[in-house]
């Protein structure tokens, strides 16, 4: 099975480094600067599960490739350009597995590649990209889930899972991937909403008198929206999320907050904005989510204004 990974950032680089080290047929599709960096330095992952340094194959144009599976590991705001980049490599037998946060992207990918197969996919993985292109694994979570939408069966999903055998990545071919995606959507909405609104990690929020109540209310709002959409989280999974999101002293924070802290663009609209829009379509009140979304939207407006000033040579 030949794999193409769009992007060698934190998620794509982490997965691809382990595949390359295991000797799998994997190629990265990246921009020129990242390709030069990978050629010079290879990929390095610093992880509590074991560090990895490996050489990888990377290209800047996919026209000559015929992958069986394409893993999309880009930010939501780069989705349009990402789909254009992989288009020359996508055929009728290609499986595309987007690993973006949220769920709105699935229909976009499927509409662009009507003859290909688009699965659902997600990661439970805390990783970040360093300034020199190295990847830092922040915890021991290393889970990849994927599978056909609509509960269909496809033997290729199990073949893909087997490629990760012998690596720290727990790859799982799922028959309920849409519910899995919604479960993560609920979790991520709560984590991103709470940590971005308060501009701190879960432990710091929990140290305030009303922090736990705020997190619980946000989780309840997201759960109600998922339920209205027909994807009520499993009670046991929901309880696990509740414990993780209200753990005293936890250093957990959303990647969205790390983007804010770096002064970068965020995936606010794809995660918080999309969840808020769904609440309104169902006539559900979500006041905490509305405040959190507005907070990050205000940051996005200020960020865009600073980018315009920089482009004109003005002060930042």
Buried b (16+ CB within 10 A) or exposed e, 11-27: bbbbbbbbbbbbeeebb
Q: Are 270 and 77 in contact (CB under 8 A)?
A: yes
**Beta 43-46 vs 170-173: how paired, if at all?**
unpaired
Catalytic status, residue 184: yes
- Asked whether the CA dihedral 49, 54, 60, 65 is positive or negative, the reply is negative
Catalytic residue among 75, 184, 253, 285: 184
> Can you tell me the distance from the alpha carbon of 202 to that of 251, in angstroms, rounded to the nearest whole number?
6
What is the three-class DSSP state of 270? helix
Q: How many C-beta neighbours within 10 Å does residue 68 have? A: 16
Helix residue ranges per DSSP H, 199-286? 202-206, 211-228, 235-245, 255-262, 268, 274-281
Total length of the chain = 316
Q: What is the 3-state secondary structure (H, E, C) of 110-149?
A: HHHCCCCEECEEEEEEEEEECCCCCEEEEEEEEEEEEECH
Backbone angles phi, psi at 173, to 5 degrees: -80, 120
> Can you tell me the distance from the alpha carbon of 188 to that of 184, in angstroms, rounded to the nearest whole number?
6
Which run of H or E residues covers position 52?
strand 52-54
Q: Are 50 and 140 in contact (CB under 8 A)?
A: no
User: So which residues are the catalytic ones?
Assistant: 184
């Amino acid at each position: 099975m030949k794999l193409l990974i769009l992007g060698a950032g934190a998620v794509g680089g982490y997965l691809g480094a382990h595949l390359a080290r295991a000797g799998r047929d994997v190629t990265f599709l990246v921009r020129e600067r990242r390709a030069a960096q990978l050629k010079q330095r290879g990929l390095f992952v610093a992880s509590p599960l074991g560090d990895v340094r490996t050489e990888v194959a990377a290209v800047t144009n996919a026209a000559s490739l015929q992958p069986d599976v394409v893993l999309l590991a880009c930010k939501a705001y780069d989705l349009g350009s990402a789909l254009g980049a992989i288009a020359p490599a996508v055929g009728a037998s290609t499986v595309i597995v987007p690993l973006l946060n949220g769920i709105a992207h699935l229909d976009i990918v499927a509409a662009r590649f009507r003859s290909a197969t688009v699965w659902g996919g997600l990661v439970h993985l805390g990783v970040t990209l360093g300034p020199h292109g190295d990847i830092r694994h922040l915890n021991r979570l290393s889970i990849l889930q994927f599978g056909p939408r609509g509960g269909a069966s496809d033997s290729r999903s199990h073949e893909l899972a087997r490629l990760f055998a012998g690596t720290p990545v727990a790859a799982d071919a799922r028959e309920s991937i849409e519910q899995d995606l919604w479960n993560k959507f609920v979790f991520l909405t709560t984590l991103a909403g709470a940590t971005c609104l308060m501009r701190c990690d879960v432990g710091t929020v929990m140290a305030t008198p009303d922090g736990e109540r705020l997190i619980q209310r946000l989780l309840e709002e997201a759960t109600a929206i998922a339920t209205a959409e027909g994807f009520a989280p499993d009670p046991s999974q929901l309880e696990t999320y509740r414990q993780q999101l209200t753990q005293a002293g936890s250093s957990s924070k959303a990647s969205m907050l790390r983007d804010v802290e770096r002064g970068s663009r965020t995936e606010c609209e794809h995660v918080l904005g999309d969840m808020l829009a769904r609440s309104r379509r169902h006539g559900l009140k979500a006041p905490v989510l509305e405040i959190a979304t507005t907070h990050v939207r205000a940051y996005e407006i200020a960020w865009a204004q600073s980018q315009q000033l920089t482009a004109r040579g003005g002060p930042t």
